[in-house]
Amino acid sequence: MSRRNNITPITNSSGPVNGPQIQNLISNSNEKDMLFYEYEIVDKDKEAKWARKEARRYGLCLCSRWLFMIIGNAILVAMTCSTCAILIYVNTPIDLTYKPLTYGKSCITGSSNCDWVRYLVCSSEVCSCYSNRIWNGTDCACTSDQYWDGLSCIQKAGYQQPCSTTVPCFSKFTCDPITSTCLCPSSLTTAYTQFYNASVTELYSGTCWPKGAYGSGCLVYGVMACQEYNGLTCTLGAGSIYTCQCYTGFYWRSDLGQCYAQGKKPDESCILSTVSNFGCAINASLECDAATNKCKCPTNYYWNNNTNTCNYVGGYQSLCYDNTWCNSALNLYCFFTGASTPCNCPIASSNAKCDCASNAYWDGQKCSTRVALNTPCPGNYACASGSCLYGYCLT
């Protein structure tokens, strides 16, 4: 690659001409007066190398002229700005008692004169609360039923809405740790002791009420209006009045403070409650014996294992399954062929029927002991020995 060197003219030189070519030209010329220009050819690459070498030698740094101009101008601008700032500061009075404007004070819209630490901003030339915060006399704060989400005051979560450590519940609710939803507060950790007396779509307008105890009035639409954790439910009773009662098959145990399963058969345990006599299954006609705290059939009733109910005891010649089916107060028992001696008194004894014992007879009201000789008799079946002749037992 060719390189063009700059030719720098040397003007106004009065020194001798020392170049050999020029001396030769003068010696061989017939001209008396001659004007010569002498040029020095400068190699910029070599000059730059030399300059860098010299700069390193003296610990200096080479910079372009345009860079010097930029740095110089920057220094000049900085000095000018500093001078202006000093002049403004010197000529501005300093008020060491200045405080930001508080709530309700006049201000210049868009300025920062209002106390932003208390969330005050200048709006319509008056210091007012930022976003939907409310002035409480000291600061701009959210209401008791709002929380700050970092940008604005947000209404707290309502009934059965999701909640967390960052999303609190409305004041009447608590955040249930199991469901992470807002529910009525509870005095127990294992059950909910209050219920919401409004539709679940009414997130805030309802009220938390204590759940009803046994026998207390309740609302039919309040499924959880009664203490379900004690076995109670809202039940329609006499006079079309809804009260908290035990479920079918259970009765209220005041000593336990909860509903308890009824005795379903005789000899099952029960408590004769002062509140009710439902310790035993009333649909089976059982009653609770206060002396033994056991279920039993009422007097003149027997337990039918086929129907699981108490049936009225059978009379003479009634069908029976065992002795309990027959009226023991009438001295009847359940006769089975081959198991005992038939009475035939007066009706012939029949299998699985209530009958008198072989030493007794049915006198029309009960089983009576057969009579001795010379005693009035209704028939041979009534005599212990002999025969009934002329209305007497004779030999």
- Assess whether 337 and 322 both reside in one domain: yes
- Assess whether 346 and 390 both reside in one domain: no
The confidence score (pLDDT) of residue 1 equals: 35
- Assess whether 363 and 350 both reside in one domain: no
Residues facing residue 210 across a β-bridge: 194
- Assess whether 148 and 118 both reside in one domain: yes
The confidence score (pLDDT) of residue 338 equals: 86
Q: Is residue 20 part of a domain?
A: no
Q: What is the pTM of this model?
A: 0.46
Measured CA to CA in angstroms, residue 105 lies from 84, 98, 123, 317 at distances of: 33, 14, 11, 107
**Total tally of structural domains belonging to the chain:** 3
Of 108, 131, 155, the residue at which a domain comes to its end is 155
pLDDT in tens, 23-68: 676 666 666 666 666 655 556 677 667 777 776 777 666 666 666 6
**Residues whose CB falls within 8 Å of the CB of residue 91, separated by 6 or more in sequence, listed in order:** none
Of 106, 137, 155, the residue at which a domain comes to its end is 155
List the alpha helices (DSSP H) in the chain: 20-27, 44-57, 65-91
- Assess whether 109 and 135 both reside in one domain: yes
Tell me the pairing of strands 146-148 and 153-155: antiparallel
CB of 297 within 8 A of CB of 285? Answer: yes
Per-residue tokens: 53:
């070498």
Q: Is residue 12 part of a domain?
A: no
Q: Which residue has the higher pLDDT, 12 or 89?
A: 89
Mean pLDDT estimate for the chain: 81
Write the single-letter amino acid at 52.
Answer: R
Per-residue tokens: 247:
């479920």
- Assess whether 149 and 105 both reside in one domain: yes
Q: Which domain holds residue 381?
A: 356-394
Q: What is the SS3 assignment for 262-314?
A: CECCCCCECCCCCCCCCCECHHHCCEEECCCCEEECCCCEEEECCCCEEEECE
**Residues whose CB falls within 8 Å of the CB of residue 321, separated by 6 or more in sequence, listed in order:** 304, 305, 306, 334, 352
CB of 184 within 8 A of CB of 173? Answer: yes
The confidence score (pLDDT) of residue 42 equals: 58
- Assess whether 346 and 384 both reside in one domain: no
With tokens 């915060």, the residue in question is 133
The confidence score (pLDDT) of residue 12 equals: 47
- Assess whether 146 and 102 both reside in one domain: yes
Q: Is residue 138 part of a domain?
A: yes
Residue 236 pLDDT exceeds 80: yes
Q: Is residue 162 part of a domain?
A: no
What value does the mean pLDDT take over residues 329-355? 92
- CA–CA distance, 261 with 153 (Å, rounded to integer): 52
- Assess whether 341 and 367 both reside in one domain: no
Q: How far is CA 226 from the centre of its chain?
A: 21
Q: Is residue 128 part of a domain?
A: yes
With tokens 């027959």, the residue in question is 326
pLDDT in tens, 164-192: 999 999 999 999 998 999 999 998 888 88
pLDDT in tens, 252-267: 888 788 888 888 888 8
With tokens 């190699």, the residue in question is 43
Residue 11 pLDDT exceeds 90: no
Output the CA torsion sign for 41, 47, 48, 49: positive
Lowest-pLDDT range of 52-56, 163-167, 200-204, 213-217: 52-56
Q: Is residue 120 part of a domain?
A: yes
pLDDT in tens, 280-325: 887 778 888 888 888 888 887 878 888 888 887 888 998 888 888 8
Residue of 155, 189, 192, 158 lying closest to 173 (CA atoms): 158
CB of 235 within 8 A of CB of 242? Answer: yes
249: left (phi over 0), alpha (psi -120 to 50) or beta: left
Q: Is residue 380 part of a domain?
A: yes
Length of the chain: 395
Tell me: cis bond preceding 378? Omega within 30 of 0 counts. no
What is the enclosing helix (H) or strand (E) of 378? Answer: none
- Assess whether 336 and 385 both reside in one domain: no
- Assess whether 107 and 145 both reside in one domain: yes
Q: How far is CA 272 from the centre of its chain?
A: 41
- CA–CA distance, 215 with 233 (Å, rounded to integer): 10
Percent of the chain's residues with pLDDT above 90: 27
